[in-house]
Structure 1
Amino acid sequence: MDENIVIEIKNLTKNYKLYNNHSDRVKEAFHPFRKKFHHIFSALNDISFDVKKGETLGIVGRNGSGKSTLLQILCGILNPTSGLAEIKGKVSALLELGAGFNPEFTGRQNVFINGAILGLANKEMEACFDDIAEFAELGDFIDQPVKTYSSGMYVRLAFAVAIHVNADILIVDEALAVGDEIFQRKCFSRIQQLQQKGTTILFVSHSAGQVVELCNRAILLDQGELLLDGTPKQVVSEYHKLIFAGEEKADSLREEIRALKSGNNIFSQPGEGVQEIEHTPALCAFYEPSLVSKSMISYNSRGVRISDVRITTPDSDIVNVLVRRHEYLYTYKANFQKTAYNIRFGMLIKTVSGVELGGSASSLIKDAVPYIEAGATVSVKFSFKCLLQPGTYFFNCGVLGLIDGTEVYLHRIIDAVVFRVQTEDDFLSTGMIDFYAEMKTCEVLKTSQVL
């Protein structure tokens, strides 16, 4: 292995024998002619890649793509069916929730047990225990059995242990999605400190923003196959296409992604830039039929029923995959089954985690529509410019009116429409919102003379 390479994966395969029922397993074990009653499922299928010292590698893929299996092999929890998985250096891993903890032991006891598993002496763990306890912020719960912990407390302790054992390689598998936002920010800050120290990091996440922000390289796994090894932005873009493609399009899309492999040119040294795609075609909004809200909640109607909720272009084309900084219309119909008074219409955009980014109402209360008679249908249209960063978002919609002197929802739909903002290869904006910020000047106001 090259001295700069700390992880080497060559032709790695992990197969499982699957049986239709328990009796087939017994039949196969005792069959006189060794007849097979199983079929093979390949969790990983002949994948190969290297990771250099100091790299932060993002690993993305749909559920069941083989991400966790790969990490468990690297941690020594699973053995591969064939191929090579070689690691140089001490590994610290934060895998699925609560992995490596004995629920009957206290947090303190589990800290020392995890240290022993990683090969650290008791004195070494005593030296860093106060730092672990402070980072985890568990207070007196550090001396309570882990089985009494909430999922967030599990993550706090597990992450605190993982980052304080001075490992050469840190593996994080989606576990941070459980913690609260403040603690997540604290964890990401510590990950960035480890990057500056030259720690090699493998980071699995479904969050496109986190992968692009933290990683300087990424790979895309699907159905146990390594489809793409490239820049985070490029890999995340193809990942988004894959998760929103219908099954009828998935095979052809996988072929398209495989074809990108030969053109990749990747820099893996920490601090280096990553070569971007030389030419990016103009993006266009389009409609993806499989991109449908599965979390929609419709409130009970109080005389109004909302229907035909959609996003369109100014030319009335229905879309749900949008382009940043373009204009769109959010539309729906309100069918009035009863006469309503002081009516207002509204909309709201939220993130996947439910953060309310912003919305609008049709008017102030004093300017509400005085009344709408039963049997009427109102076509509601809100124009908006898409100033959101690449990612997935949801629209709410609602109709407000006065009942017994109080403004209430006559009908409301939560997560009525889901839409995605396309990933771009070259943009400077960060965070969730694109504020259209541009640097106008960079002027040195004063220089000091060096003698």
Structure 2
Amino acid sequence: MSSSSIVARNISVEFPIYENSHRSLKKAVLNLTTGGRIGQDAGRHAVVRAIDDLSFTFSEGERIGLIGHNGSGKTTLLRTLSGVYAPVRGELKVQGKIASLLDVSMGLDPDATGFENIYLRGILDGLKPARIRSKIDEIAEFSELGDYLNLPVRTYSSGMMLRLAFAISTSVEADILIMDEWLSVGDAEFSVKAAERLEGLVGKAALLVVASHDPSLVARVCNRKISMEHGKMVADEPVLPPPEPIDEPLISHTAQLPH
């Protein structure tokens, strides 16, 4: 069985903005806010280079922490690894099944019931009906939504919707786990349960890539740290173990979602 890995060779991701012939205050402002990453594609259209000529190898056993300011390219890279964006140049090879926790609510149908959404998300994830059915009871129990699962999701509060989305998203079995921040859902009691579930999912993954603004989380979870700036990797170094064991629960490092 092949090891899980992600290998990139000179990949770039660009987003078009406007015709290059358009000279305006807008271009000057965009140059400032994007760190001067505006360039031209082959058709001489102006583009923002969100990911700029990256090459790297992520191997099985690694826990990669991506750090950097907002706009540095972390989330764009995660979405590219997850297949949301395609590189306009270069080559990206992924060995292993990927699970992405980027937007856990993505794909929920507000007019479908909670149970129907469990089926729909399973289908989107490529699961066979029998496999989806085998997961329903566990997802329902974890969400603690009870009879609400028979109602359309549009009748849910935002917290209830996130509980359902989190329960579905973290029921996956994958070789590679992609995360944008360490998520927490719901009230204090449910957040503890969610954190334990997330830790279990991370522990089972052969390869983890997580973006975070929290250096202590990266120090706790990761064994490799990559700093990003203006769509480039400016530092790539091992994460040294702390001098003393850390007993602080990971829930204290979570990005709290509304409830």
Distance 1:64 1:171 in 2: 18
Shift of residue 14, structure 1, vs aligned partner: 0.4
Q: Distance in 1 between matches of 2:217 and 2:52?
A: 27
Question: 1:150: Cα distance to partner?
Answer: 3.6
Secondary structure, counterpart of 2:183 in structure 1: helix
* Equivalent residues of 1:56, 1:201 under 8 A apart: yes
With the length of structure 1 as denominator, give the TM-score of the two structures: 0.46
Q: Paired residue for 2:26?
A: none
Q: In 2 relative to 1, CA 156–212 (structure 1 residues): closer, same or farther, beyond 3 Å?
A: farther
Taking structure 1 as reference, are residues 429 and 113 closer, same or farther at Cα in structure 2, changes over 3 Å only? closer
Q: Which residue of 2 aligns with 1:431?
A: 248
Displacement of 1:124 after TM fit?
0.6
Q: CA RMSD in A?
A: 3.0
**What residue is the counterpart of 1:288 in the other structure?**
none
Which protein is richer in helix relative to its size?
2
Report the structure number with the largest CA radius of gyration: 1
Cα drift, residue 97 of structure 1: 5.1
Between the two proteins, what is the percent identity of the paired residues? Answer: 37
TM-score by length of 2: 0.75
Q: How does 1:98-247 map to 2 (within 5 A)?
A: 98-174=105-181, 176-177=183-184, 179-232=186-239
Q: 1:187 to 1:20 in 2, by over 3 A?
A: farther
Residue type of the alignment partner of 1:7: I
Q: 2:75 aligns with which of 63, 68, 81?
A: 68
Check whether the contact 2:166–2:185 (CA below 8 A) recurs between aligned residues. Answer: no
Secondary structure of the residue that 2:111 maps to in structure 1? coil
Tell me what 1:9 maps to.
8
Q: Which residue of 2 aligns with 1:308?
A: none
Q: How does 1:4-403 map to 2 (within 5 A)?
A: 4-19=3-18, 36=44, 38-96=45-103, 98-174=105-181, 176-177=183-184, 179-232=186-239, 274=240
Please report how far the alpha carbon of residue 149 of structure 1 lies from its aligned counterpart in structure 2 after TM superposition: 3.3
SS in 2 for 1:110: helix
1:227-280 CA-partner distances (Å, limit 9, x unpaired): 222234xxxxxxxxxxxxxxxxxxxxxxxxxxxxxxxxxxxxxxxxx4x7xxxx
Unaligned runs of 5+ in 1: 25-33, 233-273, 277-424, 433-451
1:22-53 deviation line (CA, Å, top 9, x unaligned): x99xxxxxxxxx995x4221111111222222
Give the CA deviation at 1:428. Answer: 4.7
Bigger proportion of residues as strand? 1
The separation in 2 between residues aligned to 1:225 and 1:134, in whole angstroms, is: 43
If asked which structure has higher relative contact order (CA below 8 Å, sep 6+), I would say: 2
Deviations 1:115-144 (A, max 9, x none): 111211111111111111112222222223
Can you give the 5+ residue segments of structure 2 that lack an aligned partner in the other structure?
A: 24-41, 250-259
Which one-letter code corresponds to 1:158 in the other structure? A
Report Cα offsets for 1:312-369 as digits up to 9, x if no partner. Answer: xxxxxxxxxxxxxxxxxxxxxxxxxxxxxxxxxxxxxxxxxxxxxxxxxxxxxxxxxx
How far apart in 1 are the matches of 2:175 and 2:9?
Answer: 21
> Do the aligned residues in 1 keep the contact of 2:5 with 2:96 (CA within 8 Å)?
yes
Q: Is the 8 A contact 1:96 1:175 kept in 2?
A: no
